Each structure stands twice: as C-alpha cells, then as structure tokens.
Structure 1
Amino acid sequence: MINTQIKPFNATAFKQGEFVEISEKDVLGKWAVFFFYPADFTFVCPTELGDVADKYEELQKLGVEVFSVSTDTHFTHKAWHDASETIAKINYYMVGDQTGNITNNFGVMRPGQGLADRATFLIDPEGTIQAMEITAEGIGRDADDLMRKVKAAQYVASHPGEVCPAKWKEGEATLAPSLDLVGKI
C-alpha cells in the first residue's frame, strides 16, 4: 500500500452537524489521515477517535484533514455524536462506508464481518499513501505518534535527500543517507 494512490470513492460523511458528500477529490491537494475503526458505539474506538479529536486543531494547522471511516452509516455517526461526550468533540469527517467500498479500497475489511480493521493511513497532497498502521482489535492507537509521523512525512517531503530516524521529533537531527554513513549508525 505504501507509495500507492488512493482509489476513487464517493461517500456521505457527518461533519460539524451536517451531512456532506465527499470523494477522493476532497483529499487531493492536502495532507490527509484516513482513520479506520470497526464500529460506532463500541469500546476502544471512542477512545481513539477522542484522542484524534484532541489533536485535530494541531493537525489542521499542519494542513492535514482527518477522515474517520467505519462501515456504519452517516446517520449512525450523527446518533453517536449526539449521544457521547467523547464523540461530540469531533469536528473532522466521520465517513459512512456502509457499502465497504472505501474500506476495501484500503484493504482493511475484515473478511466475513463487514467491519474495518483498526487502521490509519497518511496520504500526501498527491494522493499517495506515505504511512500506515494496522493494529489488532484490542490495541488502541496513539494520536501523539500519529502527529510525529505526520511531521516526519511532511519534513521528508519538503527536504529531499533527508530521512527521519527512529523516534524523530520535530526540530531534531535528520540523516542524509550516503555511502559515508554505511556501518556508522
């Protein structure tokens, strides 16, 4: 999946009190995070979605849009948004993928279940997947690590010839791969 293009899609999302139609065209030209989760009204999912909601303003400042995706409908997303204090703080897109088209496009549909895996994809402005993370059902993701990955991907994109080492944080030293570094790290 890394370095592949997102595939065309159309869907209805719930965002800031409204239902909106979206497609891959809404992703192109900006950085985007697709945040797949199994289902609304569950247990680990709201903790993850709330964690991303807490970072949404910072992501927006970095030029990143967030699209949370489950195979629930946009109506179910609204009902969950209205019923849960944690979900009520979400201002990003909550995409209804009841046909499974988007989930299948990203290869994260659980066979025979009709539910998405717990998966995150970071997409650059050209629509190319730059990072991905998939975890097992009971393992929640961390928005701080997502932020680190976004900043690293943006840094690498704007600094050709440099790479970000493990645990890299904004402002820290990067590496310029060369023959001189072989065997010295």
Structure 2
Amino acid sequence: MSQINTEVKPFKATAFHNGKFIDVSEQDLKGKWSVVFFYPADFTFVCPTELEDLADNYEAFQKLGVEIYGVSTDTHFTHKAWHDTSPAIGKIQYPLIGDPTGTITRNFDVYIEEAGLADRGTFVIDPDGKIQIIEVNAGGIGRDAQELLRKVKAAQYVASHPGEVCPAKWKEGEATLAPSLDLVGKI
C-alpha cells in the first residue's frame, strides 16, 4: 500500500541539533513542510556526501519554510561524535535523529531488517503531516539536494494552486498544467 497522502505514524526520538540533544516527534512535522531523509549509517561513504549536500542547500530549504530531519539507526550520541569529527557533517544545522530501535525507519517502511539499517529514503511531508513525495534509492546511489528542492517547490506549488499540476522537469516560474478534457491527447 502506498504511503502517499498518509499521515506520519507516531514516534518519539532524540536528535542531535546545533550542539544539543533535543526530543523530536511526529508532532514536530506538523504546521510546516518537512523533509525526512533516511540514510544507512554514520561514518560511512555516500551518506556524508548526501548530508553535506543538504547542509550546503539548507538555507534554500529554510527560505521555503522547510525543515530537514536526517535519520539513521545510529544513536544521537553517534550523530554528535560524527558531527564533531567530520568537516562535512560539521556543516549540518538540521536535526540528526537517532533511531537505534528502528521504530521510525520501520514506520516509513525503509528498514533493512537483516542489516539493522535504513534504506536511502526521502519523504516530503506537508504541513498537515501527510506524505507527499517518496523516493527510495539503493545503497550505492546518492541523492541530489537540488533535485529534492525542485520537487519540494513543485509539491508546495500544487498544494497552493488547486487544479494545477507540475509537468516533468518543472521549475519554479515555469508553466503548469490544468488537467481538463481539453488536454486529453494533446500533450
């Protein structure tokens, strides 16, 4: 069953954020747009490149009113140690949630049972706490923050413009479509 338009399931966790440990729950995802960005593990190879890419683009997400949450099955203590020792991870200003029990990772259906790790899952959540975008990559395939930013802008546009949709490769300011009987067979 697809998770699109479903509400995020309840969870409580601890995150490392701006030098502190903070409590995070599904309630923190409501009232604003959020990106929940699962990755396999701290101190690995592709993961820091993805998280650094998000850190480099964090200001652009913030300007759109979007909070990012990085999640792995590591603990919040491990997130702090990684943040303190890696120049790439040291750039991060968004919360890194620890999910050592795999509860959140299972809730989003990206848990790799035999490994105890998360798949590379990206979830865009609207202000009502409903999932609007899902992307899951194989472990060796890194994600692109600019493409995620484009998708978030499209999701926000569609949410604020009922009756319009964004075509492939749509970028902010470009033409959208208004589905109707007149468009059938003409695209």
TM-score, normalised by the number of residues in structure 2: 0.98
Q: Give 1:118's aligned amino acid.
A: R
Of the candidates 111, 124, 134, which is equivalent to residue 126 of structure 2?
Answer: 124
4+ long deviations beyond 6 Å: none
Distance in 2 between residues matched to 1:93 and 1:82, nearest whole Å: 14
Q: CA shift at 1:112, angstroms?
A: 1.3
Work out the CA distance in 2 between the residues paired with 1:112 and 1:137: 14
Unaligned stretches of 5+ residues in structure 2? none
d(CA) in 2 for partners of 1:123 and 1:162?
A: 19
SS in structure 1 at match of 2:154: helix
Rounded to whole Å, the distance in 1 between the matches of 2:111 and 2:92 is 24
Matched, 1:104 2:99: no
C-alpha separation in 1, matches of 2:95 and 2:134: 19
Segments of 5+ residues of structure 1 without an aligned counterpart are none
- Counterpart of 1:51 in structure 2 is 53
In structure 1, what is the equivalent of residue 6 of structure 2? 4
1:37 corresponding residue in structure 2: 39
Structure 1 residue aligned with 2:144: 142
Distance 1:131 1:25 in 2: 19
Distance 1:65 1:137 in 2: 24
| Partner-residue secondary structure (3-state), 2:155 | helix
| Residue from 79, 82, 89 that aligns with 2:81 | 79
Deviation at 1:179?
Answer: 0.3
- Which whole-Å deviations, capped at 9, do the CAs of 1:14-63 have from their partners, x for residues lacking one? 00000001111111100000000000000000000000001111111100
Counterpart pick for 1:182 among 156, 181, 184: 184
Tell me, in whole angstroms, the C-alpha distance in 1 between the residues paired with 2:5 and 2:153.
17
Q: Aligned pair count?
A: 185
Identity percentage over the alignment? 72
Counterpart CA distance in 2 for 1:3 and 1:27 is 14
**What is the TM-score when the length of structure 1 is the normalising length?**
0.99
Query: Alpha-carbon deviation of 1:113?
Result: 1.1
- Superposition CA RMSD, Å: 0.4
**Matches of 1:129 and 1:107, distance apart in 2:** 13
